[in-house]
Amino acid sequence: MNTALPEMLQCSDLTVLERQRARLKWQEEQFQQQQQQQSYFSELSCAAFSSQTNHVQGFQGGFMGGASGDSVLSDMVMARQVKPDPGLESPWPELGKVDMAAMGFGPCGYGNGPSFDMNHAISRTSSCPPAVAATKAVEVKANSEKMASAVGKESFKKRKVEKLQNSKVVAEDESKRIKACEDEGEESKITGPNTNKSSNNKKEASGDASKENSKVSEVQKPDFIHVRARRGQATDSHSLAERVRREKISERMKYLQDLVPGCNKITGKAGMLDEIINYVQSLQRQVEFLSMKLATVNPRLDFSIDNLYAKEVFSSCTTNFPTLEMAPEMANPPYLQFNPIQQVVPCCGVEMGINSPDMTLRRTISAPVSIPDASFLDSSCLTMHQWSAMQQIQHTAIWDVELQNLYNVAFDQGRSTPPFPSQPFAGSIEASDLKEI
């Protein structure tokens, strides 16, 4: 008879409620065997226990009350009563305090969501009976003073017992419980203590998890990752940690699979790594080849810049500029400013001197470029130093113009746009100037 209930408890076929009921009945039998008083049953919820034995009876009475009355609430109260014991570990005279605390717990426990309480209560009650059974055995023989320590230890025992013996059962229970309350049984959460105590903390987290299922980011101790064991999987800390590590690696490999072209059919780490290595080598070779090419193509950058940018203006395949509105009037005064300056600058001046529609357009386009330049220098008194500085700035501005084209060559090949987008072009130049220099 005494062993029937623990076996039943460990049987996973029972539902939680059935188990609870069975437990309660067992408690009742145990109680009756001890021939304790039964008057405390009804007074449980607001009980003031005067004797030590009554306290233990209170446990059982609580279970009894749970069976008869509102099971959840009474169990919750009982759970609360169990909970403060390890915390307080007070001598028996302070029993009243414990009960008050339990009373306090009761009302505040009502405030929580029902599922949370259910979980919590269940977690407590499921672990109580073995401990209570132990204390029962102790009680018969031991002194009343021993009870305090026993009760105090009972909660610890409960955890140890869970950890050592029933880890698998508990994991199954938990996963089942979680499934009953929620949908998912497998999540990896970042909440509390580390995976070494995971089986211990799973119990506490089972209540927390139901609340914080969506709040993955809620971190109490940010360095640790809390992992849940999946159903049917090993639950010791080593295999958990290994599983986390393996999952991380496979996640990274999947990402790499997207990155490296032509890896969709390849499965397995070795093949993937081969592909990755080949791809990295080919990219590096490409870069080397391009640098060689650049070295040969690159005789005189300063010289070719203006020509290049002029060409780029008219190339139709380049443009996808962000459009900023530029008033046409703005083009003219800088144009007027620009003209005398342009004559000083030799390389620009060669083009500027020539009268042609393209040149005009080029000038108007380059004019807005000089706006930031003009703001730097006073155009009325240009010294040689300032001229060279202007030149530099114009050069860089021009480079940016070219580079705008470059980018668009690279990105938007094949897009055809209107040939002379002067205003948006100018606007984008200015934007790039302000941004990048």
Partner 1 sequence: MKRWRTKREHQIYSSKLFQALCRSRRTSSSTSAKELHQTADRVLSITAKGTTRWSRAILAAPLTAGTNMKKHKKAKVTVHTRLRKPVVNREKKKLPVVERKLKALRRLVPGCRKLSCNNLLEETSDYIAALEMQVRAMTAITEFLARGEAQAPTDRLGSIGNM
The residues of the shown chain that bind partner 1, judged by CB under 8 A, are 245, 248-249, 252-253, 255-256, 259-260, 269-270, 273-274, 276-277, 279-281, 283-284, 286-288, 290-305, 307-308, 310-312, 314, 350-351, 354, 356-359, 396, 399-400, 402-407, 409-411, 432, 436
Instruction: State which residue, 294 or 384, has the beta carbon closest to partner 1.
Output: 294
φ, ψ of residue 227 in degrees (nearest 5): -120, 140
155/86 Cα distance (integer angstroms): 6
Question: Least distance from C-beta 19 to partner 1, angstroms?
Answer: 42
Instruction: State which residue, 219 or 409, has the beta carbon closest to partner 1.
Output: 409
Instruction: State which residue, 29 or 351, has the beta carbon closest to partner 1.
Output: 351
Question: Least distance from C-beta 325 to partner 1, angstroms?
Answer: 21
344/391 Cα distance (integer angstroms): 9
Question: Least distance from C-beta 396 to partner 1, angstroms?
Answer: 8
Instruction: State which residue, 73 or 347, has the beta carbon closest to partner 1.
Output: 347
Instruction: State which residue, 47 or 398, has the beta carbon closest to partner 1.
Output: 398
Instruction: State which residue, 90 or 320, has the beta carbon closest to partner 1.
Output: 320
323 and 428 Cβ atoms separated by less than 8 Å: yes
Question: Least distance from C-beta 33 to partner 1, angstroms?
Answer: 58
171 and 229 Cβ atoms separated by less than 8 Å: yes
Question: Least distance from C-beta 424 to partner 1, angstroms?
Answer: 16
Instruction: State which residue, 347 or 382, has the beta carbon closest to partner 1.
Output: 347
193 and 224 Cβ atoms separated by less than 8 Å: yes
295/101 Cα distance (integer angstroms): 81
52/65 Cα distance (integer angstroms): 19
SS3 231: coil
* Residues sharing a CB contact under 8 Å with residue 97, sequence separation 6 or more, in sequence order: 88, 90
Element (H, E) at 226: strand 226-227
Question: Least distance from C-beta 436 to partner 1, angstroms?
Answer: 6
* Residues sharing a CB contact under 8 Å with residue 408, sequence separation 6 or more, in sequence order: 318, 319, 320, 321
* Residues sharing a CB contact under 8 Å with residue 379, sequence separation 6 or more, in sequence order: 337, 340, 341
DSSP-assigned letters across all residues of 308-366: HHHHHHH-TTS--PPP----HHHHHHHHHHHHHHHHHSHHHHHHHTS--HHHHHHHHHH
Instruction: State which residue, 110 or 411, has the beta carbon closest to partner 1.
Output: 411
60 and 27 Cβ atoms separated by less than 8 Å: yes
Question: Least distance from C-beta 94 to partner 1, angstroms?
Answer: 52
Question: Least distance from C-beta 191 to partner 1, angstroms?
Answer: 22
